[in-house]
Amino acid sequence: MRPRLSFLLLALALFALGGVLSWPRPAALSTSASKRTGPVPEMGVVVAARDIDYCAPRTPCGPGSRTDTIFYVRVRGGEAVGVAVPRDLYSPLVGGKINAAYGRGGPELLKRAVEEATGLVADRHLIFTLEGVARVVDAVGGVEVYLDRPMRYVDRAANLYIDFPAGRLHLSGEEAVKYMRFRHDALGDYARLDRIKAVATQVARKAQDPRVWPALAAALREVWRELDTDLSLEEVLDYLPYARDFQVALATLPTREGAGTYLYVDEARRGELLAALFGGPPLAPPPGLPVRLRGDARLIAWGRAFLEREGVEVRTEEAEVARSAVYASDPAVGRYYAGLFHLPVIAPHRPLAEVVVELGPDLLH
C-alpha cells in the first residue's frame, strides 16, 4: 500500500513540508531533488499523540501520559509507510497496554514497545499533543468527512461533547480531534484508527498546496514548542527535497482478542502485512480483483475509462464522498492502484472483497 502523502501522521510529512518552511535554509538545500546525490535518507519513527489528563471533572491539567494514538512510520526519501498500533495491545515489555508505555518510561520505552510489537526498528520519536494536531488541521483549512449515521457521545467529566449529524461535514481542527477520538461504535478502536488514517492522509494531501504553507508554517512553529521529539533539524531537512511529492501507505497492525480488554499481535497476519507493505510495488495489475469506483458521476466516467484501458473489471457507484482515496485490504493491491491514481491508500480494519477507489470533490479543484 502506498499513497500520496502520509501520516507522518500529522507528523513527519507535515513537519517536513510545513515546519521547515519557517526555518532559514542553507543555500545548499536549494538544490532540487533531481540533482540530489548520495544515499536516500531513511528512518523509522514512532509517531504518537498524547491524551489529556484531568485534575478534576472538566478541569484539564494538560497533555496526558497515555499515547492513545500510536503509529510506526518508516520514511525513505519520498515514501512513508505507516502502521497503526492499537492502544489496547498487550506489551510484555510494558507489562500492560502499550498506551501506558510513554507514561511509565517516556519515549524510549514507547519506542522499544513499538519495536516489540512490529518487529521494526524505531530510530526516532515524534509525540504530539491533541491541541497540536488541531492546529495543523486548522492550518490546512479543516477536513471533509462523510458520516453514514450521526455520531454522538458525551463525557461530562472530560468536558467532551461529540454531536455530528449524518452526511458530509467540514470539520475544524477541534472537531476533527473529536471525530478521531470517538470509539463508541461496533468496531471500537479499530474504527477510530481508520478515522485517524483517513484524516491524516487528507491533511497530508492538503499540505501539498502552496497556498496553505504560510498558515501551516505558523501553526508548526507553535506545535514545535509542544513536541516531544529527538529528531534534529538536520534530519528533517534531509527530507525537504522530497516533501512536495511524498507518498504514503497506512494500515493497522493485525491483532487478536485476548483476556479482558487486551489485544495481542496476530503473528502470522503481521508477517503477511509487513511483507506486503515494505515490499516493492507490483509491476502488473493484480489479477481477478474488481475495482469499485465511488463518487461524482463525472469522475467515475473518467476513472472507468482509465481503468478499462488497463484491463481492470470496474464496478461503479454514484455516491457522496468526502475525499479521494484508495481502500484495499491487501497492501500490495492497494500499492498498484495508488500508483495509478496518485491517491492515498488506506487499509481498513474491516476486510474488503474488492478495491474501492473513492473519487471526491478534491479532484475537481
Query: Pick from 33, 16, 44: which is nearest to 233 by CA?
Result: 16
Measured between alpha carbons, how far is 313 from 305 in angstroms, rounded to an integer? 11
Q: H-helix or E-strand containing 334?
A: helix 331-341
pTM for the predicted model, two decimal places = 0.73
Measured between alpha carbons, how far is 231 from 126 in angstroms, rounded to an integer? 7
Could you tell me the three cell numbers for 144? 471533509
| Phi and psi torsions of 354, nearest 5° | -150, 170
Q: Which CATH number applies to 12-278?
A: 3.40.630.190
**pLDDT (tens digit, 0 to 9) for every residue of the chain, 365 residues total?**
333 333 333 444 444 443 333 333 333 333 333 344 457 888 999 999 987 666 556 566 656 678 988 999 998 887 788 899 999 999 999 999 999 999 999 999 999 999 999 989 999 999 998 889 999 999 999 999 999 899 999 888 777 899 999 999 999 999 999 999 888 776 677 888 889 888 988 888 888 788 998 999 899 888 888 889 998 878 877 877 776 677 777 889 999 988 888 999 998 888 888 888 877 555 455 667 789 999 988 899 988 988 888 788 899 999 988 888 888 888 778 878 877 787 878 878 777 888 999 998 877 76
CA geometry: angle at 168 spanning 167 and 171, to 5°?
120
CB atoms within 10 A of CB 363: 18
Contact 300, 339 (CB under 8 A): no
Query: Pick from 140, 142, 144, 143: which is nearest to 217 by CA?
Result: 140
Measured between alpha carbons, how far is 352 from 365 in angstroms, rounded to an integer? 29
Any idea where the domains of the chain sit in the sequence? 12-278, 291-364
CB atoms within 10 A of CB 314: 17
